[in-house]
């Protein structure tokens, strides 16, 4: 419920950067909220970027952190992407133009939820998990833009570059 109410605050754009997007996420609830955001009269642009499961070195590097194997991690990420592709088909043609999927080719220092990054009211929530720590022991914090918050701008810029350096997933 937390992620649904948090991302539901977006008014212009929403960016989710994650390894696999499944850790602790009610996927159906997430998609329901995304659908509401995208299909409103003034649609929210939604971008989701997952770690590129097609790069074995990335899978091998992240798997021990998440206490899994590279093959299992790749399957999890691909499963999430497949579910997001199915979700895209539930959107109207107009809605599909506001929903973008990416694979990033570098490991971000943390997962991020970026809401309305260009607005003075923008926020970024950062979450990371220490090596082999249980899921309940992840660390998270939020920064608000406030117009001139240098760290906020640096983080948003870094995530933007991460997405730009990755691959956009082609529509169905």
Condensed to tens digits (0 to 9), the pLDDT of residues 59-105 reads 999 999 888 999 999 999 999 999 999 999 999 999 999 999 999 99
Question: What digits encode the pLDDT tens for the residues 1-12?
Answer: 578 889 999 999
Exposed / middle / buried, residue 24 (Cβ in 10 Å: 0-12, 13-18, 19+):
exposed
Q: For residue 50, list its beta bridge partners.
A: 18, 103
pLDDT at 118 over 60: yes
Prediction pTM value: 0.93
Distance CA(133)–CA(130), nearest Å, equals 5
Contact indicator for 107, 17 with CB cutoff of 8 Å: no
For 92-118, give one letter per residue: b (16+ CB within 10 A) or e.
eeebeebbbbbbbeeebebbbbbbbbe
Contact indicator for 49, 103 with CB cutoff of 8 Å: yes
């Amino acid at each position: 419920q937390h992620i649904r109410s948090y991302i539901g605050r977006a008014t212009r754009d929403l960016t989710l950067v994650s390894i696999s997007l499944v850790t602790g996420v009610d996927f159906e609830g997430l998609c329901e909220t995304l659908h509401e955001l995208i299909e409103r009269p003034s649609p929210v642009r939604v971008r989701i970027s997952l770690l590129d499961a097609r790069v074995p070195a990335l899978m091998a590097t992240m798997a021990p952190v998440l206490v899994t194997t590279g093959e299992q991690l790749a399957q999890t990420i691909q499963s999430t992407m497949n579910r997001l592709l199915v979700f895209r088909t539930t959107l109207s043609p107009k809605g599909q133009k506001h929903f973008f999927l990416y694979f990033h080719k570098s490991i971000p220092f943390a997962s991020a939820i970026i809401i309305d990054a260009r607005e003075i009211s923008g926020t970024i929530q950062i979450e990371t998990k220490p090596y082999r720590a249980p899921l309940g022991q992840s660390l998270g914090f939020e920064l608000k833009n406030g117009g001139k918050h240098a760290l906020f701008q640096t983080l948003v810029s870094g995530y933007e570059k991460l997405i730009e350096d990755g691959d956009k997933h082609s529509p169905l």
